[in-house]
Structure 1
């Protein structure tokens, strides 16, 4: 595996780890929904960044999934199907991370974010070359 493919696999591994953490925090006996929903956003963000790395596409340092998605759409138009997901997930990078008007998302919001984030990560993985997908399978961790 060349260096770029390895870097892409590392981005997607981090995305999968974020998704795993989100699920664990959401399903715990004492759920931490604010942290779980943050990791849903992070999973989607890291997945699209991994895709952009694969295609040698520069991206700014940002948590704005919609902005990253626009770069990905220029490469693969099918990313446009995930614009609503990007709009839903992007605010979770900061919305519940710091004290403010709302301390915690609802369980329903967190469940929706978890489902959408998983769909997003799975979509990105489906676009990767077999070599990278096989590497990700070797790295899988149980929920």
Structure 2
């Protein structure tokens, strides 16, 4: 795997991790902001799937449609 690809994958993973960090803070505050925490959960999931798609040499499409991204990702996972 080339360095540029590794960096792009790591960038998506880092962004997902930052979203999860925001979730922890928002959900654990004295007055939890759960709607925003849930938004960041969605963002983290989307970015994690996009990291996997880059790993699989898929072009990352500009969408927030997680079911579509997962459908594309499952093409790269052997059947159970």
Same fold (TM over 0.5): yes
Instruction: Count residues in correspondence.
Output: 79
Q: Distance in 1 between matches of 2:63 and 2:24?
A: 24
Give the deviation of 1:77 after TM superposition: 4.0
Q: Distance in 2 between matches of 1:77 and 1:69?
A: 14
Q: Distance in 2 between matches of 1:29 and 1:20?
A: 16
Q: Distance in 1 between matches of 2:31 and 2:59?
A: 40
Counterpart for residue 69 of structure 2:
68
The within-5 A match list for 1:120-135 is: none
Tell me, yes or no, if structure 1 residue 51 matches structure 2 residue 52. yes
Give the deviation of 1:59 after TM superposition: 3.4
Q: Deviations over 1:14-62 (max 9, x none)?
A: 0011011011101101211111000000000000001101121023211
Gaps of 5+ in 1: 81-143
The list of structure 1 runs, each at least 4 consecutive aligned residues, that deviate by more than 3 angstroms after superposition, is none
